[in-house]
A and B are shown apart, each in its own frame.
Chain A
Amino acid sequence: MNPVNDVTKSSNINTLNPAEMSKQDFISAVYLERGEMLDSEVRRIIGEIDKSNEYVDAINSLIGKANLAEYGDNFYSSATWQVNGNSVVLDNGYGLNVQPDGNGGSSVTILDAEGNQLIYQNQTLIPVPAGTNVNALEVGIPVMNDMTFMLDDGTKLTLKVSTPGEAFNQQNLSGGLANVQSIVITRDNQGMRIDNLDTASPTFHTPTIETPTDYGAPEEAPVKTETITIPSHTIRTLWDDQDYEENYDFIDGDALTNFKNQWLPIMTDKSPAEQEALMEKLREKGSITISYDLGDSDGQDANYRQSYTYPVFSGDTVATLINRVVDRSGPDFRRYCEEEEDGDIDIQYLNMVIDIPSYSYESVIPDTPKTTLSKESKSFELNKTYDDAEDYDLIKSQARDLVNDIKLSYLHDLTPEQQEGLRRKLIQEGLRFDFYVEDDEFASSDDYNNWFSVGLVSGESLDDFFERAAEYTAKRMAGWIRFDEDESGIEIDDLDISVSIPAFSYDVYEQSDKPAEDNTNNPRPINIHSRDANNNDGHILIETGGIHSWEYGGKALSALTETNPNDSSNQVTGYFARKLAFQNSKSDEFDGTSPLLTQKEIDLLTKILKIPYADASSNGQLTPEEWVDLKESLINARDNLNGNSQLQTVQLQRAMQTYNQNYEAMSNAQQKIYSLLRDIISNMK
C-alpha cells in the first residue's frame, strides 16, 4: 500500500454492512436513546427535589431560631450550664471539651447537637462536620486576635488570645498566630469563663447568673402623674390700626391668618395628654365659640360684635378644630359687617376671641421626693417723658422695652423649675401691666390711669408670653384711651409702665440616681452578663447551620477571599485569606441576645423565597416580635415547598417506572445490545 499523506498503516476500517444489520439493532439503539432521555428527565427532577429539600432544611433552622426568639427565656433564674471535669455542657446541645494538647497547652473541642465540631488546637481552629475528616490546612481558621463566635441560640463564645509570638508578616503571610488564653461564654444573664488555656491545666470558673438589673421595661427615671387644672380662659388676638387702612378683605383674610399663626403653634405645643384632655372637655361641652369685636371709623364710629358657635366633632384635634372655627366664622363675620355697614369700612381694631373651658390633665412629673420653694414677687417699671408725642404706638414700644429688661434681668436667671413654677402661677392668675399716661393738651393735663391683666396660655414659653402680654396690654391701654375715654388727639408727656411679677412657689425634685436610658436606640430589655459587658468582642463570626460552618462579614468563612497585599490584582483564598482577614485586632461590640439572621439566610429570604420581613436593625438582628412575624411566612413557605416536593416526588416515581421498564427491555436483550454496541464502536473507529 502506498503511503498516503504519510499514513503508512491501514486504519483497519471495518465497514458495517447494512444488509447484516437487522431492524432489531435499530430498535435497540432507540431503546438506548430512550434511556438517555429518561436519564436527563430523572436527573432534572432529582435536582429540583434536592434544592427544595435544601430550602426546607434552611427554613426549618430559621423556624428554630424564630422559636428560640419567641419562646426562649431571655433571662435565666438559675445557671443551666454544667462544668463536669474538663467539659462544659451548654444549652441546646452545645458543649465544650478541653484536653491537654501534649505541648503544654490545651486543645478545645466545641460541639453542637448534631455532632459537628470546632476544634481549637495549636493556634488554629478546625471546623469538622459530623462524620467527616477534614484537612486542617484547607479548612483551618488561624487564631490571631480575639474572636467572638455567635452560636445559633444567641450564645456567645469569645476567645481571648495572647500576643502573637511572632508578628504577622505581610510579605510572606507568616506569623501572627496567637494562643487562646481564655474563653468567655455568655448568653443573656448567664456567663462563665475558662482561663489559662495556654497551659495544660486550665481554670474553669463556675457559670453564674446575674440578676438582670433592668429586666423588663426599658429603664427610665421613675415618674408619676399629677393633675393640673387649667382655668377657663380665652385665646385672643387684638389687632389695631391708627391709620384705618384696612377694609373688609382684612376680616376674612389677614385677620384669620394672624390669629392662626399666633395660636396654632401654642395650642399644638401642649402635651398630647393635655390636648386630649382639652378636646375631651370640648366634646363634652359639644361646642366652641368664637367672638369678633370690630371697631369701625368712617363718619360715625360703630362697633360690630358677633359670636359664632360650632359643634365639636369626635374626630377633631385641636388643630383641625381651631382651623375650622376660624375659617368658617371669618367669612360669616365679614358678611355681617358688610350688611350692617352698608358701604366702605375703616377698621380701627379687630379683636378675635375663642373661649377655652376649664379642663384638667395628667402631667408627668418625677417620682422622687420634692422640696417646694418659693420666690418672692418682684416689680419692674419704666417711666419716660416725651415731648407731646402724638403716637399711641409709643405705649407699645415702651412696654416692649420694659419686657426686654425683665427678660434680661429676671426671666433668664430663673432655673427650669422656677420657670415652671412661674408659668403655672401666670396661667392661674395672669400678669398685670399698670399704665399711667399723662396727656398734655394746652397745659390742661388729662391723666389716664388703668391696668390690664393677661393670662399665660399653657404651651406658651415665658419669653413669648411676656412679649405678647406687653403688646396686648399696650394695645388695650391705647384702645381704652382712644375709644372708651374718647380722647381725640393724644399728646403724651409722661408714660409710666409697671409690672409686678407675683410671688410663686416651685417644686424641686431630687435627681433619680439611675440615669435615663436611651430608649429610642435600645427599646429591648437589656439583660447582659457582666462577663459579656466587660469584655469587648473580637472578630464576630456567626454560626450558619452547624458549629463547623461560619459566616464572617456576610460571607461564608470557607469562601473568604482577600486581596493579596503584595499584589493587589491577585485574590487570596483559603487559609491565607483568613489570615489576612483576622490579622488586625478588632473589638466590635455585639449586644444582640436573640438569634440573628446570617447573610446566607438573608439571601435565601430575599432572593429565593422572596419572603419580605421587617428588620429595624437592618443587619439581621431581628427583635423577637419580628421573628414571630417572620415565622408565619416561613411556615407558609415550608408548606408550599412541602407540597411542591410531593408533586415532584410522584413525577419522579412515575418517570422511574418507565425508566425501569426501559432498562429491563435493554438488559433483557443484553446480548443483542452488546453486539450492537460493539458494532457501533467498530463503526466509529
Chain B
Amino acid sequence: MAVKLKLVDVTKLKKASFLVSQETEKTIAEARVMLGKQEEFLQNGGMDRQKLRAFINSDHWTSQQKQKAREELLRFHNELKSDMARVASSKRKELSNANRLLEQRKITPATATRKQRSGFI
C-alpha cells in the first residue's frame, strides 16, 4: 500500500515561546547598540532633534528645497512603513503555514472525474 509522506520543513515549525523571546532579545540588543551609536554620533556634534528641525526649516534654504526635503522624508517614511508591513504580512503567512504544517490533513477521496470530450476537435 502506498504511503504518502508529508515533508515538514523543521525551520518553519512553530517556535516555542522561549526561543522567540531569545530571538527578540538578541534583535533588541543589536538595535540598542545601533541606537546608542547614533545617539553618540549626534551628541558628538552637539546636535539634537529641535536644532535639526530648526535648521532644515530655516530660511537658509529656498522653499523649493524645503518642500523637496519634506517630500523626500515623507517618501522615505512611507517606504519604510510599507516595507515593514510587507515583511510582517509575509511573516504572518509563514506563521500560519507553520501552524498548519503538523496538522493532520483530512484526505477527501478525490471524486473520479473522467474527462469527457466536449465535442468535435
Contact = CB atoms under 8 A, between A and B. Distances in A.
Interface string B1-39: 000000000000001011011011101101110110111
B73 A677 contact: no
A7 interface: no
A638 B17 contact: yes
Nearest to A20: B60
Contact of A651 (B30, B52, B87): B87
B24 A645 contact: yes
A667 B60 contact: no
Given A39-B35, A642-B15, A656-B30, A29 B55 contact: yes
A498 interface: no
Contacts of A41: 80
A34 B45 contact: no
B92 interface: yes
Given A654-B84, A673-B45, A56 B54 contact: no
B31 A34 contact: no
A673 B55 CA distance: 13
B102 interface: no
Given A37-B73, A643-B95, A646-B91, A32 B15 contact: no
Contact of A645 (B20, B31, B42, B44): B20
Interface stretch (A42-50, A93-101, A324-332, A543-551): A42-50
Interface in A665-685: 666-667, 673-674, 677-678, 680-681, 683-684
A650 B44 CA distance: 31
A684 B91 contact: no
A654 B52 contact: no
A133 to B, nearest CB: 23
B87 A26 contact: no
Contact of A655 (B15, B41, B44, B84): B84
A46 B54 contact: no
Q: Interface centre among A42, A46, A52, A646, by most B CB within 10 Å?
A: A646
A33 B34 CA distance: 16
A46 B87 contact: no
Interface residues of A, number: 57
Contacts of A21: 60
Contacts of A60: 17-18
Contacts, number: 140
B54 A30 contact: no
A53 B19 CA distance: 11
A677 B47 contact: yes
B25 A53 contact: yes
Contacts of B32: 46
A654 B72 contact: no
Contact of B52 (A32, A38, A49, A650): A32
A652 interface: yes
B46 to A, nearest CB: 5
Contact of A663 (B17, B38, B77, B80): B38
Contacts of A646: 15, 20, 23, 91, 95
Q: Interface centre among B20, B46, B77, by most A CB within 10 Å?
A: B20
Nearest to B44: A674
A677 B43 CA distance: 10
B28 A652 contact: yes
A649 to B, nearest CB: 5
A653 interface: yes
A35 interface: yes
Interface string B82-106: 0110011001100100000000000
B83 A654 contact: yes
A39 B87 CA distance: 19
Interface string A89-118: 000000000000000000000000000000
Contacts of B88: 647, 650-651
A76 to B, nearest CB: 30
A654 B84 CA distance: 6
A677 B46 contact: yes
A42 B53 CA distance: 20
A56 B17 contact: yes
Nearest to B55: A680
A647 B49 CA distance: 29
B58 interface: yes
B103 to A, nearest CB: 14
A52 B27 CA distance: 14
A642 B17 contact: yes
A646 B17 CA distance: 10
A660 interface: yes
Contacts of A656: 27, 30-31, 34
14 contacts: A26-B69, A29-B69, A33-B52, A50-B28, A53-B21, A639-B17, A643-B92, A646-B23, A646-B91, A655-B84, A656-B31, A659-B31, A683-B60, A684-B55
Interface of A: 16, 18, 21, 23, 26, 29-30, 32-39, 41-43, 46, 49-50, 52-53, 56-57, 60, 638-639, 641-643, 645-656, 658-660, 663, 666-667, 673-674, 677-678, 680-681, 683-684
Given A46-B32, A643-B92, A653-B87, 6 more contacts: A33-B69, A42-B34, A49-B28, A646-B20, A655-B80, A655-B84
The 4 closest A-B pairs by CB, nearest first: A677-B45, A651-B84, A650-B91, A680-B55
